[in-house]
A and B are shown apart, each in its own frame.
Chain A
Amino acid sequence: MLEQVEELVFETLREFGANENITGLDNPTVETFLYGDGGVLDSLALVSLISDLEMKLEERFGVQLTLADERAMSRKQSPFRTAGALAEFVREALVSYS
């Protein structure tokens, strides 16, 4: 399941990078830094990406998740730090949802 979710996250990142002209998202990997020191996203871009990802999850899996929930905000390690952390967070959210 993680591979499937990773591919969806990467796809969203590629599309988002192309739409918003953000370099560094052309070919994302689990190690791609998203937000924080060395990240390619500023805070407004992160908000937009999360919103796009929620829509993509609904289109692909038919689930209506709100990703920026208390679990995300209260973690010591931000789930938005890297593409890999984001994919793992989305996987956990999908498991909780189901």
Chain B
Amino acid sequence: MKTILITGTRKGIGKALAEHYLGGGWAVYGCSRGKASIEHGNYHHFCLDVSDEEAVVAMVRSAARESGGIDALLNNAGIASMNHFLLTPYPTARSIFETNVFGSFLFCREVAKTMRRLKTGRIVNFATVATPLRLEGEAMYAASKAAVESITRILAREVGEWGITVNAVGPTPVATDLIRGVSSEKMEALLDRQAIRRMGTVEDILNVIDFFLDKRSAFVTGQVVYLGGVG
């Protein structure tokens, strides 16, 4: 049985990803700040903050030990905040970077250590179309995801020798809590900048992730794939 570690599995896209891979026969190790919302014999939940180094190290090593090795990591956990730059509170900016950048960094680092021993592995990070669109009101969110893109591209080069691929998917807006506070006017304006003017779906994201995880994608690394014709 293959093992996948997915962050932010309590709700939204992360929960859908976990359910998809459980349905495909994978063992899923998930985490969130809150308790599990998935009940399945092959689902293992950890309550943690993704920027808590000690908790992340403990989760990854526990998952690797129990499963015999982690085949894939999906760094889905993320937070956003819609603010004009001049009205962005420092704690908000810091919180966005702690979850999106440092959380992804910690999981990439710890999971890559375990994958190195197996000489194979797939890491998929989460970018956003807000970065190439230079989306007003999302400066710190887009900046945090730009950092995730850089980590993705550079880490791919640093771990390629060990058979580990590192890629990122850049979704368009999907109807989740993450965009709950965005007005319909702003959303329409955003969709107008896409080549294909519609909201994204979990299936759109899954399609890209499945491609990255496919054993035939062993030569695909350091790539960021945006959905909706953005970029």
A residues whose Cβ falls under 8 Å from a Cβ of B: 44, 48, 51-52, 54-55, 58, 64, 66
Contact = CB atoms under 8 A, between A and B. Distances in A.
B116 A51 contact: yes
Contacts of B113: 51, 54-55
Nearest to A50: B113
B61 A66 contact: no
Contacts, number: 17
A55 B53 CA distance: 16
Given A54-B113, A64-B54, A66-B53, A44 B61 contact: no
Interface residues of B, number: 9
Contact of B58 (A44, A51, A52, A64): A64
A58 B64 CA distance: 12
B57 A66 contact: yes
6 contacts: A44-B161, A51-B113, A51-B117, A52-B117, A55-B113, A64-B61
Interface string B188-214: 000000000000000000000000000
Contacts of A48: 116
Q: What 4 A-B pairs have minimum CB-CB distances, sorted nearest first?
A: A51-B113, A64-B57, A64-B58, A64-B61
Given A51-B116, A66-B53, 7 more contacts: A48-B116, A51-B113, A54-B113, A58-B61, A64-B58, A64-B61, A66-B57
Contacts of B58: 64
Nearest to B110: A66
